[in-house]
């Protein structure tokens, strides 16, 4: 089974750059999208339904902002929209689809790059989603939390760890949260298979960063330890360019 996570930085923008043709060719069973910046009524859903996908949207209340979605060729047994906390749910931060054998969550963690207020909001989210995921694990041991975490975990995950040591997304507190999260029973699937540096999932639009591969690895498929024996592969697709992010792929049995 092929699972993809992709921050599309606006689904309408991505569609104008060939996203639909790419999706048809890549043909994942499930794709979790982040930063969709649209409601379902803002596009023609039959474009994706004709490819065999069931569409589940969780947009932000604010138009043109944030939001997540899951497109799946398998109908989920159940869906859960949000965390039950309005301050995050109004921004469309997480959507969970439950299937036979696992639950898949498309998540979009807040960014703290716009200042102290949003950085504080990000820390609140990190605390709350940690507790939320621990509670979920008590109910369901096979969980995949995929999406844009807006955090580079280790120096290998960022092109210049020294100059970015005080940058949101690579702050000591954020990296410590990643240590705590992976230590609580979650596997970073890409690093499970790929120990090599210079592999990123996001590049700034500035300074020709993507062409120079001056990137950050901030998108993850994190899975509970109980899924380790079902992992087949995990790869990044840096040559797919509909967004400032690129897709990440996970294959499981």
Over range 185-196, report the average pLDDT: 98
In angstroms, rounded to a whole number, what is the distance separating the alpha carbons of residues 143 and 246? Answer: 23
Q: In the block, which residue shows the tokens 């975490």?
A: 149
Is pTM beyond 0.85? Reply is yes
The pLDDT value given to residue 61: 96
Q: Residues with catalytic annotation?
A: 148
Contact 46, 187 (CB under 8 A): no
Show the domain range for 184. 2-252
The pLDDT value given to residue 178: 98
- Domain harbouring 19, CATH code: 3.60.10.10
The pLDDT value given to residue 208: 94
Domain count, the chain: 1
pLDDT in tens, 106-133: 999 999 988 999 999 999 999 999 999 9
Directed axis angle between helix 172-183 and helix 116-139, to 10°? 0
pLDDT in tens, 11-65: 999 999 999 999 999 999 999 999 999 999 999 999 999 999 999 999 999 999 9
Quickly list DSSP for 30-41.
EEEEE---S-GG
The pLDDT value given to residue 174: 98
In angstroms, rounded to a whole number, what is the distance separating the alpha carbons of residues 169 and 153? Answer: 9
User: DSSP H helical segments within the chain, as ranges?
Assistant: 11-15, 19-26, 46-49, 86-89, 116-139, 172-183, 189-193
């Amino acid at each position: 089974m092929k699972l993809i996570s992709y921050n599309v930085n606006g689904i309408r923008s991505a569609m104008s750059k060939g996203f639909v043709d790419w999706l048809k060719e890549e043909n994942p069973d499930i794709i979790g999208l982040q930063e969709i910046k649209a409601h379902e009524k803002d596009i023609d859903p039959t474009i994706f339904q004709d490819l065999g996908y069931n569409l589940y949207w969780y947009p932000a209340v604010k138009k043109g902002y944030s939001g997540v979605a899951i497109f799946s060729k398998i109908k989920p047994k159940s869906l859960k929209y949000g965390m039950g906390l309005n301050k995050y749910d109004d921004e469309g931060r997480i959507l969970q689809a439950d299937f036979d054998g696992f639950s898949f969550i498309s998540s979009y963690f807040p960014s703290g790059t716009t200042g102290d207020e949003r950085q504080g909001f990000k820390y609140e989210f990190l605390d709350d989603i940690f507790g939320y995921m621990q509670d979920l694990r008590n109910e369901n041991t096979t969980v995949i939390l995929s999406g844009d975490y807006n955090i580079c975990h280790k120096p290998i995950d960022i092109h210049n760890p020294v100059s970015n040591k005080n940058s949101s997304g690579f702050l000591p507190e954020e990296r410590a949260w990643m240590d705590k999260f992976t230590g609580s029973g979650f596997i970073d699937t890409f690093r499970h298979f790929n120990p090599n540096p210079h592999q990123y999932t996001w590049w700034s639009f500035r300074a020709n960063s993507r062409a120079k591969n001056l990137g950050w690895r901030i998108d993850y498929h994190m899975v509970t330890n109980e899924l380790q024996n079902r992992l087949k592969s995990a790869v990044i697709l840096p040559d797919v360019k509909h967004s400032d992010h690129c897709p990440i792929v996970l294959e499981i049995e």
